[in-house]
Amino acid sequence: MKQATARFGDGRSIIWLASYPKSGNTWLRSLLTAYCYPDDEFDINALIGQQDPFDRQLLDDHAGISSAEMSDRELIPYQAQLHRHLAQHAQPPYFIKTHSACRVSHDGTHLFPAEASAGAIYIVRDPVDVVPSLAHHEGRDFDWTIARMADAEAGLDIWPNKGGLMVPQFMSSWSVNAQSWLDQNQIPVHLLRYEDLHGDTERHFADVLRFCAIEIDQSRLLAAVERCRIDRLQSDETKSGFNERPSSERPFFRGGRIGDGHKKLSKEQKIEVREQHASAIEELGYRV
């Protein structure tokens, strides 16, 4: 797949850091934080790319609505309006993490409007390896997780009373999530495979910086890569805690191993994952 370049200017300042959960988004945010702020002490609880635009109170105050009384589709035009407002006032590149699929409202409004978006980095990971990582994160077994990854209606921060501090993010299934970003042509997208970042972090992180029009300083790059080794992030979490940790009993950073799911899932479970996501798996170069 040919890689694009972010298009900044005219209110387009946002770079969306998009992914299905447990695909390396937080690791990339760590690398960006260490690189962009080399003179600051690295703080795992102050990473670039916070999900502030999905804060319910921020949306309600900006749009003058009560989001808890509205459906997710009804909220998209108001969220898009907020995204445009934030982009107009942000210093580029303005990184925002999301696990949402790239969605459109009934009236054709894009949740991630092109006029606010310089680009998106889509981080993808072998879905067989996502299974044990997501299962650990959610405190569930592999079968539940496999079904969750195939659920076209799956989302985050969805509560029966429509409450919660964050508005819902509808991530859909693993394959729909990926294809919704990679198949759209409104926003330039840089595809980043977790396996590639893991195998040659320096090279593929440099590609991310180029996409974002961030000047590359080799010594800063090497320092960021060294600072954000997974074992060091694990140590940070142990010492300081992590505000994105799913539970006090389950750490966020497990190890980030390649092939973990291929070792731990049964033959039948791996076949199920492959059958559910065959088209996207093949397109992204994973084992079918």
CATH topology of domain 14-127+152-245: Rossmann fold (3.40.50)
pLDDT of residue 204: 98
Domain boundaries, the chain: 14-127+152-245
Q: What is the residue type of 105?
A: S
pLDDT band of residue 247 (cuts 50, 70, 90) is low
Q: What is the residue type of 265?
A: L
With 0-12 CB in 10 A as exposed, 13-18 as middle and 19+ as buried, what is 123? buried
Report the run of H or E that residue 136 belongs to, with start and end: helix 127-138
Residue 17: is its pLDDT beyond 80? yes
Residue 161: is its pLDDT beyond 80? no
Cα separations (Å) of 282 from 102, 120, 200, 288? 21, 22, 22, 6
Side-chain half-sphere CA neighbours of 82 within 13 A: 23
Share above pLDDT 70 across residues of the chain, in percent, rounded to a whole number: 96
Task: Give 283 or 159, the one with higher predicted confidence.
Answer: 283
Average pLDDT, integer, range 84-91: 96
pLDDT band of residue 27 (cuts 50, 70, 90) is very high
pLDDT of residue 132: 95
Residue 128: is its pLDDT beyond 80? yes
| Mean pLDDT of the chain, nearest integer | 93
Residue 2: is its pLDDT beyond 60? no
pLDDT of residue 157: 86
Average pLDDT, integer, range 96-122: 96
Q: What is the residue type of 121?
A: I
pLDDT of residue 254: 77
Cα separations (Å) of 170 from 52, 60, 148, 167, 181? 16, 19, 12, 10, 13
Share above pLDDT 90 across residues of the chain, in percent, rounded to a whole number: 83
